[in-house]
Structure 1
Amino acid sequence: MVRVLDGAQTAFLEEQLKAVFAEAFAEPPYGASPPDVERAFRRFRSQVRRRGFRAAVAFDGETVVGMAYGYPLAAGTGWWDTLIEPVAEDLRLENGKRTFGLFELAVRPAWRRRGVAAEMHRALLNGLKNQRVMLNSRPEATAAQAAYRAWGYRPVGTAVPWEGAAEHDVLLLEL
């Protein structure tokens, strides 16, 4: 079962979401270590307080097995500044409503290939007033890349989203 939650509801699930993140991103190509998980969840604590934050969380009974969350990008977002090659100004224009940033989408390995990610993605986007959705994905994450392409995302560039990060494809979905 997938539930759509606001920031406060999602914050309440932090420990379970942290466990999903740790399991899902421990595998190649990510190789997330405990410090990587802690860094992600320092960001999470501020993300859940953003205006327009929403999450789609998948449950098996009371156990969280997947998560997808994000919020609309602010007019002054730095997301576009992380691209290696600049993109046209009309593509990078943000006003706080245009683009929903999908910051995390993860499913525990034992629940993969059951449609959980697709169900969370549909639930998260259902009713969004934004014009488009943007996300970053590692190019070598072939299963994730295949899903995003099947859902209609198209590549618009390559980014290094934070200092020391690997290159990520920047993908955009028009709604």
Structure 2
Amino acid sequence: MSEQAQADGEVAVRVLDGEATAQLEEGLKEVFAQAFAEPPYGEGPADVDRAFRRFRSHTRKAGFLAAVAFGPGGQVVGMAFGYPLTATTRWWDTLTEAVPDDVRTEDGKRTFGLFELAVRPAWRRRGIATRLHTVLTEAVTNDRVMLNSRPEATAAQAAYRAWGYHCAGTAIPWDGAAPHHVLLLELRA
């Protein structure tokens, strides 16, 4: 896959396919560990392991794409990645209240599931998350993007609202998880 780069002299954002993204697993884990150690997440090594347990299989999914931000020397400083949701996705089944079938119907083309979006704390407040999101959503061919976000993650929630997301409901995405807002962004009518 050709790389699309957007650089500001300090950070380059590239769109990568699954194979190229899989090669960056350790750097992506470091971003995740740093970004989600802070409140409201408070995630530690076991949470990083849980989050990356299926990472390799995710990178092999049809349509997997990532936007990765590289700092000086090629250090991974931010990431956004996901893949299209198929007809068998269970994402909608985790909602605490059902949504209409016309909202939850998936076919592998309709919705891009944005599974992770994170920036190392030392690299925040430079527009990197916005660039990652913009570059990735411009690269996908799906009609909409869906993600889960903790309601108490106020900075993330504000960014998602500014980017045009709306809340479709609340979900408990896995056993023992805190409630998450399920957010949708319409890309194409």
TM range (shorter): over 0.9
- TM-score, length-scaled by structure 2: 0.92
Task: Determine the C-alpha separation between the residues in 1 that align with 2:55 and 2:160.
Answer: 22
**Other structure's SS at 1:36 match:** helix
CA-CA distance at 1:115 after TM superposition: 0.2
What does 1:1-175 align with in structure 2 at a 5 Å threshold?
1-61=12-72, 62-175=74-187
**Other structure's SS at 1:37 match:** helix
**Residue deviations 1:5-50 (CA, integer Å, cap 9, x gap):** 0000000000000000000000011111101000111121211110
Task: Determine the C-alpha separation between the residues in 1 that align with 2:139 and 2:154.
Answer: 28
Task: Determine the C-alpha separation between the residues in 2 that align with 1:127 and 1:41.
Answer: 23
**Other structure's SS at 2:60 match:** coil
Paired position in structure 1 for 2:9: none
**Other structure's SS at 1:32 match:** coil
- TM-score, length-scaled by structure 1: 0.99
**Other structure's SS at 2:177 match:** coil
Task: Determine the C-alpha separation between the residues in 2 that align with 1:128 and 1:105.
Answer: 15
* Aligned-residue RMSD, C-alpha: 0.6
**Residue deviations 1:84-111 (CA, integer Å, cap 9, x gap):** 0000010000011000000000000011
Structure 1 gap segments, 5+ residues each:
none
2:15 and 2:139 in contact (8 A); partners too: no
Structure 2 gap segments, 5+ residues each:
1-11
Task: Determine the C-alpha separation between the residues in 2 that align with 1:2 and 1:129.
Answer: 19
- Percent identity reads 71
